[in-house]
């Protein structure tokens, strides 16, 4: 029995590129592809990728249940909100009913983020943290976030795994990192972290280093991030039993770079365009961070220092292994983000909305 698939977040950077690439990915047969939309314009846009638009209030459990059961959806790729777990649990419960009705395996992929496996969230940073570590679930359960609000998405990862197991749903925690390159979807074409560096630099007329030491962070080109989504979906559709639950963490990353190198490369590109005064990278003072927090639209409930460091700094030693076990082969080495910084800055400046 073939699967019916739902993709949420299709207007976003990650989800839009996934939708755009699915038709040419040579996936095993499936029945229907659905995409969650909010507007008529989005509905028209997703149809070009062969997806049928669905409009659901994902915070409404009954609405989610009705849509999933009515359309017989058995695979959900959730690319909307890594922080809160309410909607994910709605989908998991609905998928469990599809399994009970049809007898086939059902699958829920939650898109998390590398910050949730970093110094900001209390993850180990004294050694490589492998995404196929058999103790990774226990590590996440024991994490105490250094930045208080980061505890919520840590708990969300755990809730997705626990609720899925309780309801007989196969769960996957997909982890993007610093993703860069031009998105191919109909909506947002630019990333988050690289955009934050540019946004702060435009306001400050300089690139500032908000870290202590030389911390590193995993990186991934948008195309490689997308091919990992697709390879995991390929294994699901083929019935190849990819790792799931406590053994279902998937980091999309070809390796790590230092923030210092990324700051320097982007500063060079910004100075070349006279966006900043010069290409030097300076240690940020407390006063600088206060101003950067305003540029990065720090919510009132958060401390500026925490918000800025979480947006464009920190240390993450999370290391990809499990994707390679699927046969995933990234095209771009980690240092490509440094080499491509000029093009990345140009792309961001073209699309950045103040």
pLDDT at 348: 98
Has residue 301 got a pLDDT over 90?
no
CB atoms within 10 A of CB 87: 19
Q: What is the pTM of this model?
A: 0.97
The pLDDT tens digits for 185-221 are: 999 999 988 999 999 999 999 999 999 999 999 999 9
Beta strands in 46-119 (DSSP E): 52-54, 75-78, 107-111
Token pair, residue 227, equals 């091919």
302 band by pLDDT with thresholds 50, 70 and 90 = confident
Rounded CA separation 155/240 (Å): 29
pLDDT at 305: 93
pLDDT at 300: 84
Q: What mean pLDDT, rounded, does the chain reach? A: 97
Rounded CA separation 82/334 (Å): 24
Phi, psi angle pair for 15, to nearest 5°? -65, -35
The pLDDT tens digits for 76-132 are: 999 998 999 999 999 999 999 999 999 999 999 999 999 999 999 999 999 999 999
Contact between residue 39 and residue 245 where contact means Cβ atoms under 8 Å apart: no
Burial 147-175 (b: 16+ CB within 10 A, else e): bebbbebbbbbbbbbbbbeebebbbbbbb
The pLDDT tens digits for 128-157 are: 999 999 999 999 999 999 988 899 999 999
The pLDDT tens digits for 235-274 are: 999 999 999 999 999 999 999 999 999 999 999 999 999 9
């Amino acid at each position: 029995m073939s699967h019916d698939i739902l993709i949420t977040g299709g207007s976003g950077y990650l989800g839009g590129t996934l939708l755009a690439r699915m038709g040419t990915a040579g996936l095993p047969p499936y029945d229907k592809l659905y995409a969650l939309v909010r507007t008529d314009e989005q509905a028209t846009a997703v149809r070009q990728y062969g997806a049928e638009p669905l409009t659901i209030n994902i915070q409404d459990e009954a609405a989610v249940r009705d849509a999933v059961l009515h359309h017989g959806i058995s695979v959900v790729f959730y690319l909307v909100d890594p922080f809160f777990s309410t909607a994910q649990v709605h989908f998991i419960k609905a998928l469990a009913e599809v399994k009970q009705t049809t007898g086939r395996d059902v699958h829920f992929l939650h898109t998390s983020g590398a910050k949730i496996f970093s110094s900001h969230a209390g993850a180990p940073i004294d050694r490589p943290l492998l995404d196929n570590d058999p103790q990774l679930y226990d590590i996440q359960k024991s994490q105490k976030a250094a930045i208080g609000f980061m505890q919520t998405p840590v708990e969300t990862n755990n809730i997705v795994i626990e609720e899925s197991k309780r309801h007989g749903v196969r769960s996957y925690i997909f982890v993007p990192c610093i993703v860069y390159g031009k998105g191919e979807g109909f909506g947002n074409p630019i990333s988050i972290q690289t955009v934050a560096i540019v946004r702060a630099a435009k306001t400050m007329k300089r690139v500032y280093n908000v870290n202590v030491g030389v911390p590193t962070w995993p990186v991934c080109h948008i195309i490689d991030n997308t091919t990992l989504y697709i390879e995991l979906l390929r294994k699901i559709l083929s019935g190849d039993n990819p790792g799931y639950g406590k053994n279902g963490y998937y980091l999309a990353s070809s390796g790590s770079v230092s923030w210092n190198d990324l700051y320097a490369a982007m500063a060079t590109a910004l100075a070349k365009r006279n966006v900043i005064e010069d290409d030097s990278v300076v240690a940020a003072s407390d006063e600088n961070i206060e101003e950067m927090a305003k540029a990065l639209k720090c919510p009132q409930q958060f401390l500026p220092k925490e918000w800025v460091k979480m947006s464009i700094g920190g240390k993450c030693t999370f290391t990809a292994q499990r994707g390679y076990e699927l046969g995933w082969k990234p095209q771009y080495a980690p240092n490509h983000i440094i080499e491509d910084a000029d093009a990345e800055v140009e792309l961001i400046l073209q699309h950045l909305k103040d």
